Amino acid sequence: MENKLSHVNEQGKANMVDVSDKTVQKRTARASGRIVLSPQALQQVRENLNKKGDVLAVAEIAGVQAAKQTATLIPLCHNLQITKASVKCEIFETGIEVRSEVICLGRTGVEMEALTAVSVALLTVYDMCKAVDKNMCIEMIKLDEKLKENL
């Protein structure tokens, strides 16, 4: 069986996939990623001493907002009615790990929404810590799981 790109039409042009005939299902996606910080920047985050505010709280809110805006950011994504978007930031030994979960009742999955949530949360950490750490590294952004359930 040949793998075919779903977002390209017969003429090789970008194409939003028609999902009209697909069944509405409960769709869930979980994603994760991390940012490595200097010890000084990580200490500021841990002790909530960053001049811009609570880094973890702001990053979590930014991630939720990003999940809701995915269709406006990524041209061929469908505009979905999200029923849940959660983002959790946790400090680990050398940085911060971000995990997201996005759920919708729809005809297409929410993978891009989960990945966008993680990406923007990590970018928010970067933005808030850049005055302290010039060598941060965002890494390992990935889809951890996608599920669909019949209603």
Active site residue 133: no
Whether the CB-CB separation of 37 and 95 falls below 8 Å is answered with yes
SS3 (DSSP) at 31: strand
> At residue 137, what are phi and psi to the nearest 5 degrees?
-135, 115
Region 30-51: what's the mean pLDDT? 97
Confidence of residue 11 (pLDDT cuts 50, 70, 90): confident
The residue whose two tokens read 């990053």 is 59
Catalytic residue among 54, 127, 133, 144: 127
Is 25-150 a domain of CATH 3.30.70.640? yes
Residue 6 has pLDDT above 80, yes or no: no
Residue 1 has pLDDT above 60, yes or no: no
Q: What is the pLDDT of residue 83?
A: 98
Q: What is the pLDDT of residues 114-124, one digit of tens each?
A: 999 999 999 99
